[in-house]
């Protein structure tokens, strides 16, 4: 099961991952992205590719 992991030491809270995920795995909570629905991830890696800080890794 693919699952995105956010490295908060690198994340700038830009919100890009929330926008690009086609199945809305992420949500902004208190100004930062959280992996809200990890079970819905389809492993497309759009979040990983589009994160400007390389803060997301999609684990298989
Ligand atoms: S796209 Fe990357 S830097 Fe932007 S909020 Fe998501 S994890 Fe953070
Ligand atoms: S890999 Fe695709 S489906 Fe999974 S969280 Fe990232 S953008 Fe969403």
Give residue 53's pLDDT: 98
Q: Which residues line ligand 1 (CB under 6 A)?
A: 6, 11-17, 33, 51-53, 55-56
Nearest residue (CA) to ligand 1, atom 2: 51
Ligand 1 nearest atom to the CA of residue 16, by list position: 1
What pLDDT, on the 0 to 100 scale, is given for residue 29? 98
Q: What is the DSSP letter of 57?
A: E
Collapsing DSSP to helix, strand or coil, 33 comes out as strand
pLDDT value of position 32: 98
Q: What is the pLDDT of residues 6-55, one digit of tens each?
A: 999 999 999 999 999 999 999 999 999 999 999 999 999 999 999 999 99
Smallest CA separation from ligand 1 atom 3, residue: 11
Q: In which domain, by residue range, is 15 found?
A: 3-59
Give the confidence band of 3 by pLDDT, cuts at 50, 70, 90. very high
25: domain CATH number is: 3.30.70.20
Number of domains in the chain: 1
| Residue 47, both tokens | 């979040």
Given this model, what pLDDT does residue 58 score? 98
């Amino acid at each position: 099961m693919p699952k995105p992991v956010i490295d908060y030491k690198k994340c700038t809270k830009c919100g890009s991952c929330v926008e690009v995920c086609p199945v809305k795995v992420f949500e902004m909570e208190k100004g930062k992205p959280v992996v809200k629905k990890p079970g819905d991830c389809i492993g497309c890696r759009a979040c990983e590719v589009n994160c400007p800080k390389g803060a997301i890794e999609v684990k298989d």
